[in-house]
Amino acid sequence: MIHLATSVEGAWDPYESPFYLEVYGETAPLLNTAFADVLGTGPLSADSSSGTPSSTISAPVYEYWWTLGFHRGHSPEEQHWRDRLFHPRNENLDAHGGAQAMSFEDPAAWVGLFFPTGANWRAKEISATLKFLTPIKDQHQMWQDISENIAKLSPLLADAGSLASLVPGGAMASTVLSTVAKLQVGSVPQKSVNWSVEKTTLHPAAESGPWQGVEWRLPQNTFEVLGGRVSGSVAVTFMEALRPSEDEATPPEEGTVMARANVAVQGMRGLLRVPSSETDGDPFLSLKVAPQRPGGNRT
């Protein structure tokens, strides 16, 4: 089942908090119990005389999405930040009065999605994307870049089919290649928007362990090219990671996927955190995830 966590609950005041963040994804994913099998034995194929193990069962892969958006004003031709954004503690300032031209630093934003290490499973990243909707600004150049990407990715799909059918234990490699190829076709080419991702580690609180995650770096022209609502995703597979004291009878534990964004607005001192770290709430979005073993009753 796909669930959502959002930084906006109820009414939204875009002049006080112009940015919002959402994260959503599967909350009861299936564990890939054969993740470590580089060359699995597997059952024999239908043609038992060949003695070739079958490798047609794909590993489950799940996509987790985020959306970072902001209020661009009621007139797209006149986009401004309200002065309240730059002086939030000035009680004498009218939230709707005063304005500065809407612009971003470079990079414009960082968006992080983090998976726990305190549970007896791990999320292994396969591919990340930055989404777009057609037609967009400079569409012709974008499609040239996409065509180049498709030409590069086409061999991956062919190789994926070959691995799954010809190589014993090739199902996992086939899944990885197929996932990368299919997701990247619908992702913004880096020639158009020079975005990137990196693996990172987060320590959100003194009493917690580390969270392993992926962070997107969005350049200055991201919102100019893609608009006031930007979405990305990461494809992951979940593997079992039992502790030395645990065995197959130990159920998978519930964990929390967390997300946050940092936005760099031009003229503003410091980064704007989403969700805000100045509120009484959690400065991260939280999505409870409870992986399931294959064959069990999914909750």
Residue 297 covered by a domain: no
Residue 79 covered by a domain: yes
The predicted-structure confidence for 112-161, as pLDDT tens digits, reads as follows 999 999 999 999 998 899 987 776 666 555 555 555 654 554 554 444 44
Question: What is each CA distance from 111 to 28, 172, 176, 264, in whole angstroms?
Answer: 24, 28, 24, 12
The predicted-structure confidence for 238-270, as pLDDT tens digits, reads as follows 999 999 999 989 999 999 999 999 999 888 888
- Of 137 and 87, which is predicted with more confidence? 137
Residue 294 covered by a domain: no
Report the pLDDT value the prediction gives residue 83, as an integer from 0 to 100: 58
Number of domains in the chain: 1
How much is the pTM?
Answer: 0.78
Work out the number of other CB atoms within 10 angstroms of the CB of residue 110: 18
Q: Which has the closest alpha carbon to 282: 258, 254, 264, 263? A: 258
Give the strand pairing for 285-289 and 229-240. Answer: unpaired
Report the pLDDT value the prediction gives residue 15, as an integer from 0 to 100: 75
Give the rounded percent of residues in the chain with a pLDDT score beyond 70: 61
Residue 61 covered by a domain: yes
Confidence band (pLDDT; 50, 70, 90) for 21? very high
- With beta carbons less than 8 A apart as the criterion, state whether 132 and 188 touch: yes
Residue 217 covered by a domain: yes
Give the strand pairing for 104-116 and 255-265. Answer: antiparallel
Winning range, highest mean pLDDT, from 1-5, 101-105, 161-165, 266-270: 1-5
Residue 186 covered by a domain: yes
* Phi, psi angles (nearest 5°) of residue 138: 55, 45
CA pair distance 36, 121, nearest whole angstrom: 13
When mean pLDDT is compared across 128-132, 167-171, 189-193, the lowest value belongs to 167-171
Residue 144 belongs to what domain range?
2-289
The predicted-structure confidence for 197-235, as pLDDT tens digits, reads as follows 999 998 877 667 899 999 999 999 999 888 889 999 999
Residue 172 pLDDT > 60 = no
DSSP characters over 147-212: HHHHHHHHHHHHHHHHHHHHSTTTHHHHHHHHHHHHHHHTB--TTTS--EEEEEEE---TTS--EE
What value does the mean pLDDT of the chain take?
76
Q: Which has the closest alpha carbon to 231: 200, 266, 261, 198? A: 261
**What's the mean pLDDT in 97-115?**
85
Residue 24 covered by a domain: yes
SS (H, E, C) 235-282: EEEEEECCCCCCCCCCCCCCEEEEEEEEEEECCCCCCEEECCCCCCCC
Residue 63 covered by a domain: yes
Confidence band (pLDDT; 50, 70, 90) for 54? very low
DSSP characters over 114-141: EEESSSSEEEEEEEEEEB--SS-TTHHH
Report the pLDDT value the prediction gives residue 166, as an integer from 0 to 100: 38
